[in-house]
Each structure stands twice: as C-alpha cells, then as structure tokens.
Amino acid sequence: MEVVWAVGQVGAVWVAAVLGLIVLPSALGISLGISEAYMWVLVKTLEWATIRLQTGAKKPLPQPPRTPTANGIIERDETPMEKEIALLHRADFEFSHIFYFCRKGFEAIVEDEVTQRFSSEELLSWNLLTRTNVNFHYISLRLTVVWVIGVIVRYCFLLPLRFTLAAIGITSMIVGTTVVGQLPNSSVKNYLSEVVHLTCSRILVRALSGTIHYHNKENRPQKGGICVANHTSPIDAIILTNDGCYAMVGQVHGGLMGIIQRATVKACPHVWFERSEMKDRHLVTKRLREHVADKSKLPILIFPEGTCINNTSVMMFKKGSFEIGGTIYPVAIKYDPQFGDAFWNSSKYNIVSYLLRIMTSWAIVCNVWYLPPMVRKEDEDAVQFANRVRSAIARQGGLTELPWDGGLKRAKVKDTFKEEQQKNYSKMLVRNGSVG
Amino acid sequence: QGPRGSAPVTALLSPAVTSEQIEHLHRRFKQLSQDQLTIRKENFDSIPDLEFNPIRGKIVHAFFDKRNLRQESDGLADEINFEDFLTIMSYFRPIEMNMDEEQLDRFRKEKLKFLFHMYDSDHDGKITLQEYRNVVEELLSGNPHLEKESARSIADGAMMEAASICVGQMGPDQVYEGITFEDFLKMWQGIDIETKMHVRFLNVDTIAHCY
C-alpha cells in the first residue's frame, strides 16, 4: 500500500514537472532555456569525445568538410562523352567507345549515386551512438564509460520523458482539435485552431529534443500559397508546423494516424485524400487548386519528392505540385546528423522502430531556411519550374541535386529515361560521321 | 568482419588499394548481394546507373567469365564471392607512379585481355566478324535511327582495318579468321589505354583504427 502511494507521489511530481516546465511554456510560446542548456552540455561532451578519438588515433581528423559532390568513394571522371571519344586517336567508331562504357559501367557497379542516397549519411566523427559506429573502433576506457553513461541517460531518462511528451502532445492535439471543431466557422475558430496546432507541435518538437533554427522568417509562407520542402522524414511536417500553421496534404491512413487526421480536419481545412482518389491526378489537382484559390485558407504543405531521402541531396520533384498554380514558397530543411539521424529508411525500418531510434538519439538539430516566393514564368512548363525550385532549395541547404526519381528506391528505371540516354549516344555517333 | 581469404587478392590490388577501400568495396558487395555471400547476375539489376549502359550485358557477363576470374576451367560461373569480385575490380586499378616498365607492360596486357574477353563471346580465343558485329550492335542498340546496315558497315570497316594492321596485304582468296590476342595487342600499340580503363578511389580517411 505504501509502495503504491509512494509511486503515485513520484508519478504526480513527474507529471507536474512535465506540465509546468514543458507543456505550459509550449502553449505560451516561450522557452525556459532547458533545451538550450541540454544542447550546450551535449555539444561539450561530443567535443570532448572527438578530442579523445583524435588523440587515440594519433592522426588529425579530416579537416575540410566534405563538399557535397565528393560524397562518393571513387573519383568520377566527368568528361562528357563527346570529348572523351574525340580524345582517343581514332575518330571512327572503334573499340574506343567500349572504353567509355566499360568504365562507366564499373563506376556504377562500385558505387551508384542513387542507392547511396537511401542509406544514412556517414559521420566524420563518432557521436557516441552505437548505430553510427560503423567506422569507429575501441579507443579508450574513459570513452567507453562515457558511452555507457550516454546509453543510460538516453534510454532510462530521455526515452520515458520523450514518450510522455509525445503522448501528451498527440492526445491534446486530438482532444483540442475535436473541441475546436465543434465551434461554428468563424475567425475565433480559426484563431483557436491555430493555437491548438502550434501548441501541440511545440510539445512534439520538445518530445524529440528538437533544436530548430529558422532563417529568413520574413519569407514565411502566406495564406493561399503552396509550401514545398525537401523530404527526409515524417517529422519534417512537425518541424515546419512548429513555426506556422499549414494545411496538410496526404493520404488517409488507418489507426492512430487516421484518428489524428479525422480530428484535425474538423478544426482546420487539411486536405486528406482517400487512396482511390490519389490515383486520379486530375481530381487531386482540382481539389488543391480550389484550396489555393481561397485566399483565406492556410498555405498547403507538400513534399514533392514523394519519398524520404537521406538529406544529402534533393531528388526529382514530381511536377504535379507545380501544376496547381499560385505562389510557391520553397523551404530548405537540413538536419545536423551529429546529434541524431532523422532519415527514415522505410525499407529498413518500420515507423515504430524509426520513432524509437529518434527518441533515443541525442537530439534533432536542424536548420530551416525560408526562401523567397517563386511563381511559374510564362514560358516555363511545370517540369522546368519544378527544377528551378529544386535548385534553389538544394543551393540553400547545401545539398546536391540529382535528376533521379525518388521512386527508384523501390522501382526500376523508367524505359523512357533509358531511351533518352541511348538516343543521345546514337545522335553523337552519327554526328561524328562514323556511319558510312 | 573483414573479407575472408583476402590475402592473395590484396596482393593483386596493393599498394593501389588500401584496406579501407577494400572495406568500402565489401560494403558495396554486401549491398549488391543483399547480405548474401555470393552475387548472381540478377543482383546487378538493382543498379539504376547501369541501366543506361548499352553494353551492360557484356559488363555483367565479364564478372562471371571464368577466364577473368583466373580459374582453370572455361565458361561462366553462376555466382561469385567477394574475392572474385575484387579480382574483377583489380582489372580497373589505376597505374601507380612507381611502376617499372615490366609492371606497366603486364598491367596493360591484363587490361587488354579483359577487353578481349569481352569481345570474344564464344571463348575460342579469336574475335570473329560476327562477334565484332554483335558488340557494335549492342553499342548502338535502342536507337531507332541507326539501321542494322550501319552497324554492319561499321563493324566490317573496323575488321578490315584490323586485318590490314595485323596481316598486311591479303590476297583475294585469303580469309581473315579473326583477331587473336596478339593481333589485338598490335592494334592497340602506342595508344594509351591505361588512363582510360581505370577507376580511381578517392582518399576518404575516416577515423583510423586503434592498434
């Protein structure tokens, strides 16, 4: 009996602390500085660990940060095909062509640009998490002790805390939006809905120990616009809604996600599609266009890549989002992998193990850049516009641009793409006068 | 968890390839084989970059060609392990500054032999006109604008040139059997292929191991 009472006391203190120190400030939008203090301690510890590793290895760490293009392990000869074939002495079609393709083939086998992007980024220095321990080996006893302490802190203290917060966040989102949803449509309702969404987002961000730096806030998406961003993980949406309100677009899910979707749509006009509707592109475009046309509605949030990429590059943007019209507000999101890897490798981990990994990382640190709005020009088609937006995002976030489709994670290269390449090569041959 | 039996192969590759690069290749091998110990032809289907390559078939074939794997028997292997993978990779190692004449010559011969095997699909030691035509057709495959005739004329022209280099003037009733490896070497004399047929590793030093 006494034990139960004692546990109850502890539980009550715990909940009170959580509510007072985290939930209340979230609701009011102020920060008590606890996160900052935690991050400071964390950074100091990791710096110390890095120095230990350095002295242990007796070798300086690679100093210059890896340029985005040098993400691979082999040196790619970027000489265009024409130049290279001209360099070989015989201009006619000879064995020369075979060299070029042989080498390209081997380069592709040793390392291909696409598959690389679907595995987590490698770190230059160990961050005391076993999961990034691929390149690092035992150095010293002290380091191991620190690592063990890290494990205890992460699993026994941070994980329950974060779990509690997440639970509170999700519950209040569902309850809050349901309550607000009962009100008749009015500006009061919109205001309250914004408050609820923002508060719950903030709680959820704290649940991940997220430290987010927003840049260029003057370019924040306005009502009636479309916000596009690069996609790394499901928490991208939470990162963005932490700073503003958006209308989400997505497929209707079952389970907990479905409950959240149904609750939130009552309070705020999110656009949820049934699976069957998603297949009909015209229907989707029509609905989104109607939403955008209404200038009083919140900006829509879209991730045009269609799948999660590992945050070192931006893949092809699907043109559908760029056909809707309206103003596009590009946003670049770059995570700092030192504190925790936010990338969701959906072919390797399911959502639950992914969330577990996130919640047992040190923190999620990221930079969000709001880019100036863009509009489609008269002589541009949707694909060119999509590429233009993509370049802007890639440049800002320091990511490389790849022309590949994110769908390659699961599917094979489309035949149309292949034929393009073959046509290019043959055109070049004919031009060189090698025929006849 | 390093590559097993890597001692003889590293002799082939060293000093051009460090142990870190072998580890990288090993990881790549595991990725391609999907964590199995061997790779089969189907595993190469998962590389998008390779799809564009017109001679994709020949390249993949080269990995399983027993002549390239330095095995005594002939024909094609069904599957290759990591050691075989490294053996094939060694054909593409770049030349080193400190190589002497003999080493360079051996190097060059190895690379040309690899290429020769790619052309000589029936493993009889000669590249016949038909085999050459096959290669040209593959290189031009998929282009609707170039007809088969063009491919044939290109191949025929090249074979004639090869014949003139190797055999000199031929009488009207002489038939050129096919390009042997010695002829092949003659054709490529004086042309620098070493710099065209290599894959150079970047110097990526991650944290050093603790000894």
> Rounded to an integer, what distance in angstroms lies between the CA atom of residue A407 and that of residue B8?
41
pLDDT of residue A370 exceeding 70: yes
Residue B4's pLDDT band (cuts 50, 70, 90): very low
Contacts of B89 in chain A (CB under 8 A): 106, 110
Dihedral sign, Cα of residue B203, residue B205, residue B206, residue B210: positive
Mean pLDDT across A419-424: 63
> Is residue A79 domain-resident?
no
> Rounded to an integer, what distance in angstroms lies between the CA atom of residue A139 and that of residue A123?
17
> Is residue A31 domain-resident?
no
Mean pLDDT across A117-125: 62
Given this model, what pLDDT does residue A90 score?
Answer: 44
Mean pLDDT across B146-163: 73
Q: Which secondary-structure segment (H or E) carries A287?
A: helix A281-293
Mean pLDDT across B50-63: 82
Structural domains of chain B in order of their starting residue, each with its CATH number: 14-202 (1.10.238.10)
Size of interface A-B (CB pairs under 8 A): 160
Dihedral angle over CA of A20, A26, A31, A33, nearest 10: 60
Contacts of A434 in chain B (CB under 8 A): 154
Interface touch B154/A93, C-beta < 8 Å: yes
Query: ipTM of this model?
Result: 0.78
Which residues in chain B (119-178) have CB-CB distances under 8 A to chain A? 135-136, 139-143, 145-146, 150, 153-154, 157-158
User: Chain B contact for A135, CB < 8 A?
Assistant: yes
> Is residue A62 domain-resident?
no
The minimal CB distance from B207 to the residues A57, A100, A104 is found for A57
- CA distances B29 to A111, A365, A413, B26, B88, Å, are 10, 33, 21, 5, 13
> Rounded to an integer, what distance in angstroms lies between the CA atom of residue A68 and that of residue A31?
34
β-pair type (B39-40, B79-80): antiparallel
> Is residue A66 domain-resident?
no
pLDDT of residue A271 exceeding 60: yes
Q: Lowest-pLDDT range, A161-170, A196-205, B160-169?
A: B160-169
> Is residue A100 domain-resident?
no
User: Chain B contact for A72, CB < 8 A?
Assistant: yes
**Among B207, B209, B210, B211, the residue to mutate for chain A (most A Cβ within 10 A):** B207
Query: Which range among A54-63, A414-423, B159-168 has the greatest average pLDDT?
Result: B159-168
User: Chain A contact for B11, CB < 8 A?
Assistant: no
> Is residue A422 domain-resident?
no
The answer to whether A177 touches A267, Cβ cutoff 8 Å, is: yes
Return the closest-CA partner of residue A331 out of A392, A381, A270.
Answer: A392
β-pair type (A300-302, A328-336): unpaired
Chain B nearest-CA residue for A97: B139
CB atoms within 10 A of CB A361: 23
Q: How many domains does chain A have?
A: 1
The minimal CB distance from A73 to the residues B45, B51, B204 is found for B204
pLDDT of residue A120 exceeding 50: yes
As a whole number, the mean pLDDT across chain B is 73
pLDDT tens for each residue of A320-335: 778 887 889 999 999 8
> Is residue A132 domain-resident?
no
Residue A303's domain comprises: 141-409
Contacts of B140 in chain A (CB under 8 A): 426, 429
> Is residue A113 domain-resident?
no
